[in-house]
Amino acid sequence: MSKSTTTSIELASAKDLGAAIRDARKAMALRQTEAALLCGVGIRYLSDLENGKDTVRLGSALKVIAGLGLVLMIDRKKPFWSKDGRRP
């Protein structure tokens, strides 16, 4: 029986997302051409995404994430403001 592990990565930029996608692709021993074909995107798009280009299309990025067997989750950070407008 294989053990499932979950790794959470905090992403703060397009470069962070690109690096996470590149790491996942490399862990699967896929070349960009293979991963692009698997995910239904172009090689240039995948390269731009992995290099952290800010203007890549979100829908296509989600296709890559799903195609590589990843999941994108959103969670709340510790609140940086309170209801009365003051910092906690």
Domain span at residue 55 reads 14-67
User: Is 83 inside a domain boundary?
Assistant: no
User: Is 40 inside a domain boundary?
Assistant: yes
Per-residue pLDDT in tens (0 to 9) along the chain, 88 residues: 455 567 888 899 999 999 999 999 999 999 999 999 999 999 999 999 999 999 999 999 999 999 999 999 988 777 766 776 666 5
User: Is 4 inside a domain boundary?
Assistant: no
User: Is 74 inside a domain boundary?
Assistant: no
Strand (E) or helix (H) holding 36: helix 32-39
Closest CA to 17 of 56, 60, 49: 49
Domain CATH for 50: 1.10.260.40
Q: How many domains does the chain have?
A: 1
Taking the alpha carbons at both ends of the chain, their separation in whole angstroms is: 46
Q: What's this model's pTM, rounded to 2 decimal places? A: 0.81
